[in-house]
A and B are shown apart, each in its own frame.
Chain A
Amino acid sequence: MNAENSSVHPRLDLDEFLSLPVRLSIVAALAKVDEAEFGVVRDVIEASDPVLSKQVSVLENAGYVSIKKGYVGRRPRTWLQLTDDGRAALSRHLVALHALIRDL
């Protein structure tokens, strides 16, 4: 283990945007797919439309989620996709979480 790594406390790797369980659930769900429709994510993480919409906006502003809007026929569709930055942030956050819990 080098000196640089040993001096970094895992809590410093926790991501402020992923500290809310609902955001963590969204990002963890999106990590398993290329992209998913808004309604599918809403249903599986059991959130309401406004809650998901608000948290997804936060994640989009953080650069973790990209949002694509379109239509199928006349029906509007919103697609959510985890960005590479989002994937990396989730990975860092989970490693830090595991490290901190292990140290408890």
Chain B
Amino acid sequence: MTHHHADEVPSSLHEQLQAAEAGGGAGAGIARQAGRFGGRFALIMGGLIALYLLVVVYIYPQRIGWLTAISTLAFIAGIVGTARWHAARRRASSLGWSKRYSLAFAVAAGLFGAGIALLDMTENREWWLWVPYAALTALPLAVFRLWRGPK
């Protein structure tokens, strides 16, 4: 006499379709959660980059050694800590997440680099220029949360 485990019993077409639909629904739920978590991670990274740009604009020119060192170390600790938190808590990645994140990060890094170049070209340190520009630097990683990618 043959004994089948419940999960290995041959099934009807309808049962197969139901299993596929249930699995697809469950997968969509995983993808939504992963998308929200990945979005929070990207938003934090964007915020750190924007803050660091403001540090470069307002703190580095003061040439106070300890302040420069602390702010730089805080930025590095923030980036490393956020990356480690993400790696430890991530349980899934939504479709296309890595590509979209890499693209958003590259654009944010490009805007950061352009900001540094702009800093060399102007003496202007007015907040109305640099705070919005810092926000613009974070924007790609912030809107990345809203860009869901393929379903």
Q: Are B14 and A34 in contact (CB under 8 A)?
A: no
Contacts of A25 in B (CB 8 A): 19-20, 22-23, 26
- Give the dominant DSSP class at A's interface: helix
Q: How many residues of A contact B (CB 8 A)?
A: 37
Q: How many residues of B contact A (CB 8 A)?
A: 36
- Give the dominant DSSP class at B's interface: helix
Interface residues of B in 1-45 (CB under 8 A from A): 5, 7-8, 10-11, 13-24, 26-31, 34
Q: Does B72 contact A (CB under 8 A)?
A: no
Q: Are B17 and A97 in contact (CB under 8 A)?
A: yes
**A98→B24 CA distance, assembly (Å):** 15
Q: Are A31 and B27 in contact (CB under 8 A)?
A: yes
Contacts of B31 in A (CB 8 A): 32-33
Contacts of A3 in B (CB 8 A): none
List 9 interface pairs A-B (beta carbons < 8 Å), by A numbering: A19-B11, A19-B16, A28-B20, A32-B95, A34-B93, A40-B91, A44-B27, A45-B26, A73-B88
